[in-house]
Amino acid sequence: MRYKAISADGHVNEPPELWTKNLPEKYRDRGPRIIETPRTKGHAWIMEGQERPSLMGFSSMYFKSSGKRFDRASLIEQFKQMKNRGVRYDDLFPGSYDPIERVKEITEDKIDAEVIFNGVGTVWNGIKLCQDKGLALACYKVYNDWMVEFQEAAPLHFRCNATLPTTGLADCLDEMRRVYDMGLRTIQLEAYPSGDFANPTPEDDAFWAMAVEMDIPVNVHTQFFFPAGDLASKITADGMAESRNRAKKRGIDMEAGTFPVILWRMMASGVFERFPDLKLVGSEVQCGWLPYYLERFDESVKRNRADWNLPMLPSEYFRRNVWLVYIEDELGVMDRYATGVDRIMWGPDFPHSSSAWPVDYELGREILERAGATESEIERIMWKNCADVFNIPYDDPRTISTAA
Amino acid sequence: MSDITYHLISADSHVVEPPDVFAGRAPAGLADRLPKLGTVDGGSAWLVEGVEPVPLEPSVATGSGWRRGPSPVTWDDVLPGLYDPAERIVAQDSDSVDAEILYPSSGLWDAVKQSDDAEVKLACATAYNDWLAEHCAYDRERLFGIAKIPTTSVDDAVRELQRAVGELGLRGAILDAFPSGSRVGGNADDDPFWEAVNDLKVPVTFHYGVGVDAPSSPPPGIAPGLKPPMADAMLPMVAAGVFDRYPDVKVVFAHADAGWALHWMEFFDINYVRQKHLAQYTLPDDDAVPSDYLRKYAWFTVHQDRTAVRNRHIHGPVHLMWGSHFPYEDSNWPDDRQQAIRLTDELAPDDRRMLLADNVGRLYGLPGYDKGFTDDEVSTFPSLVHF
């Protein structure tokens, strides 16, 4: 048996008492905790320094669709019933926080293993913006300790990302060393290693060097800042403008923290030139946008050669150092040759509402097949690229697949 | 009946306004408040009261950023073809281009729209349109002007649109900002403007950015291909039912290519389908998705965009129009034909003709292109979401 499917993008929802039970005594009352929202009776995370709680939104959870095929109608029906009340932990898949339950859930989804990311917007906006660096650092450590436990509970099925602190370079380096010693082999950044949310700086080089030495892929999950509140409600122009304004008031440049801009600035500042073995993964960034991105990038370099001090074109750095993870992205899959079959990884984003549990695998295959992908391309995009980038061992004969 | 056969039409070229474009075409009392071309740090720059000076783009001296010219650039350096219509025809011949859709320059109008002086803003728009109409009258088969729409009020916008199209013979309109002053499209206050557009049946352009603070052209220099600032202008219009009420409205996304829009449309469709329970907006047809509108009612100018050409069936092949961007940094003047042929080198001759001439000809009803598009042609594109 071989691997058939490795999701390059799965999420947890952090246990409600993770910080109230595990933070050092002096931080316990100030750290993240769950509250109930007065009107909608939903759950939300809040910690010291937050003006408003971060709601557990629809993006955090997903309903079991009825039947074997992805049933859009019944999904919409179930969402409608939920519409006027808040999302609670009781609504979530238990595998959000229990690794043994998680193995059962992904097995039912026909997925053999997952790369695990944090719960994004919910608790993390508070931690990242926390003004007390000691408190913030303690929060990151508690989370990473839990990631170690989660992975150890089922090491064949999970590659858990440590979330590295945004409190400064020294903390970032120390924590990467600490989690590496405890067995984690992949990390996600919520800011540049120096703690800057907008620009890479020369001091980051110490971090890139360490990541290369440890052969750790550096993941950026979509963007450094998520709009507060339910992700789904932010897709209107008004919603997006409102998020940008709120971020601006706190001195945050949201645009600078989006993956296309992060990639631009890292390339242009020569990070990949100085660290040719660095692995950068854009998690849940999709891939349909990339061909036009690189086409204009390369052309503008050729036209302004004197202003580009690097020996390689952007597309050449991309093909050597960068991978992209997508959820559905039919157009990106159809245009996969312009991005590179070996640059693309599938990641259904379970249990967020973008996923299609329990038919993620089938839907993933269907999209690739409809785009004319061969079996070799399907295998590489649905498990092998991920296994190679994240150093998930497989041997010949490949023996690991617990899914039916 | 026209004798001209078009092989190559630029759907996105620009003029450079001469120093006297406003003076003499505005009410006498405004003379000292009008924008003037002055000298700043050794180069020519437009001076708009209350706004930072706007230097002339360096590429107006060479027609292309591929060739370095004087820096800073003064009025004497500007290629005469950018402001003199007889020279414009010579410039087109040098470029092997048969005709151009002519847009205003960018920096000047980004400054004008920031001014607090409503009388000046309105006078500038009407003066520009008068100048442009004279300019294009020199050759009615090769010069086609896009009218400036004032940003001062909905009434001003409607009136000037009707005058520019009905009396001056201009072929389309460019929106620097929504006439109501709204940040987003689809505001009900803008309806009278869309109604007028619907009656006149001329395409309305968003040129890279729309909004008082939005730039109307990309910054020069090294940059990846990103979603332009105007990307989110149209979805709120779809959500507000503008295209359902005014089905003859056509939007042109100019100067930002179309490759970025592929993923953007699929993303909106996926979100719309998945988040229907949130009912942020509904579409009249229960099976409709946003990209049905985003594709049927939108045209895109493409320049350096093999991605869009390769994926043209996604937008619908009639919706893409090549533009030279002359005289912006990424233009290739006087070898724009070379650039256009390279861009389309994998296309069969008929498909190439569509992208390089026929689509823009039919959109603007240029000489010899009387029939416009059938409903089938503008609506032919595949589904993006399959579950």
Domain boundaries, chain B: 9-378
State the pLDDT at residue A233. Answer: 43
The predicted complex's ipTM stands at 0.95
CB contact under 8 A, B184 and A241: yes
State the pLDDT at residue A253. Answer: 83
**CB nearest to B224's CB, from A83, A260, A334:** A260
In angstroms, the CA A196 to CA A211 distance is 18
Closest CA to B209 of B159, B247, B174, B158: B174
Query: pLDDT tens across A89-135, in order?
Result: 988 899 999 999 999 999 999 999 999 999 988 899 899 989 999 99
Residue type, A12: V
Structure tokens at A49: 């320094």
Query: In chain A, how many domains are there?
Result: 1
Residue type, A167: T
State the pLDDT at residue A354. Answer: 84
Inform me whether the C-beta atom of residue A296 falls under 8 Å from chain B C-beta atoms: yes
State the pLDDT at residue B313. Answer: 95
Query: pLDDT tens across B177-200, in order?
Result: 999 999 888 999 999 999 999 999
Inform me whether the C-beta atom of residue A334 falls under 8 Å from chain B C-beta atoms: yes
Mean pLDDT of A299-321: 97
CB B161 within 8 A of CB B193: yes
State the pLDDT at residue B271. Answer: 83
* pLDDT > 90: percent of chain A: 72
Compare A277 and A254 and report the one with higher pLDDT: A277
- Residue A48 inside a domain? The answer is yes
**Confidence band for A356, pLDDT divided at 50, 70 and 90:** confident
**CB nearest to B262's CB, from A288, A366, A370:** A288
The CATH class for the domain spanning B9-378 reads: alpha beta
Q: Say which range, A67-81, A292-306, B37-51, B197-211, has the weakest mean pLDDT.
A: A67-81
Query: pLDDT tens across A217-259, in order?
Result: 999 999 887 655 444 444 455 666 666 677 777 777 888 899 9
Burial class (CB in 10 A: 0-12, 13-18, 19+), B265: buried
Compare A233 and B17 and report the one with higher pLDDT: B17
Distance from CA of A68 to the nearest CA of B (A): 13
Task: Indicate if the pLDDT at residue A402 is higher than 60.
Answer: no
Probe site for chain B from A82, A296, A336, A363 (most B CB atoms < 10 A)? A296
**Confidence band for A396, pLDDT divided at 50, 70 and 90:** low
* pLDDT > 70: percent of chain A: 87
Closest CA to B203 of B363, B11, B359: B363
Nearest CA in chain A to B185: A237
Burial class (CB in 10 A: 0-12, 13-18, 19+), A100: exposed
* pLDDT > 90: percent of chain B: 87
CB contact under 8 A, B223 and A300: yes
Mean pLDDT of B343-367: 97
What is residue A44's DSSP assignment? E
Residues of chain A with C-beta less than 8 angstroms from the C-beta of B270:
328, 354
**Pairs of CB atoms within 8 A across A/B:** 142
Residues of chain B with C-beta less than 8 angstroms from the C-beta of A335:
262, 307, 310-311
Distance from CA of A6 to the nearest CA of B (A): 22
Query: pLDDT tens across B4-16, in order?
Result: 899 999 999 999 9
Structure tokens at A315: 């597309």
**CB nearest to B278's CB, from A233, A338, A356:** A233
**CB nearest to A331's CB, from B185, B262, B281:** B262
Alpha-carbon dihedral of residues A317, A318, A323, A329, nearest 10 degrees?
180
Query: pLDDT tens across A5-50, in order?
Result: 999 999 999 999 999 999 999 999 999 999 999 888 899 999 999 8
Compare A101 and B371 and report the one with higher pLDDT: A101
Nearest CA in chain A to B238: A236
CB contact under 8 A, B305 and A292: yes
Query: pLDDT tens across A139-191, in order?
Result: 999 999 999 999 999 999 999 999 999 999 999 999 999 999 999 999 999 99
Task: Indicate if the pLDDT at residue B365 is higher than 50.
Answer: yes
Mean pLDDT of A346-372: 92
State the pLDDT at residue A57. Answer: 78
Residues of chain A with C-beta less than 8 angstroms from the C-beta of B264:
289
Distance from CA of A352 to the nearest CA of B (A): 12
Most confident listed range (A303-307, A362-366, B85-89): B85-89
State the pLDDT at residue A232. Answer: 40
**CB nearest to B183's CB, from A82, A241, A264:** A241
**Confidence band for A1, pLDDT divided at 50, 70 and 90:** very low
- Residue A213 inside a domain? The answer is yes
CATH number reported for the structural domain that contains residue A309 in this entry: 3.20.20.140
Phi-psi region of A393 (alpha: psi -120 to 50; beta: other; left: phi over 0): beta
Mean pLDDT of B364-378: 93
Residues of chain A with C-beta less than 8 angstroms from the C-beta of B271:
232, 235
Mean pLDDT of B243-264: 97
State the pLDDT at residue A84. Answer: 75
Range of the domain at A294: 6-389
CB contact under 8 A, A331 and B384: yes
Nearest CA in chain B to A371: B384
- Residue A178 inside a domain? The answer is yes
Task: Indicate if the pLDDT at residue A58 is higher than 90.
Answer: no
Inform me whether the C-beta atom of residue A238 falls under 8 Å from chain B C-beta atoms: yes
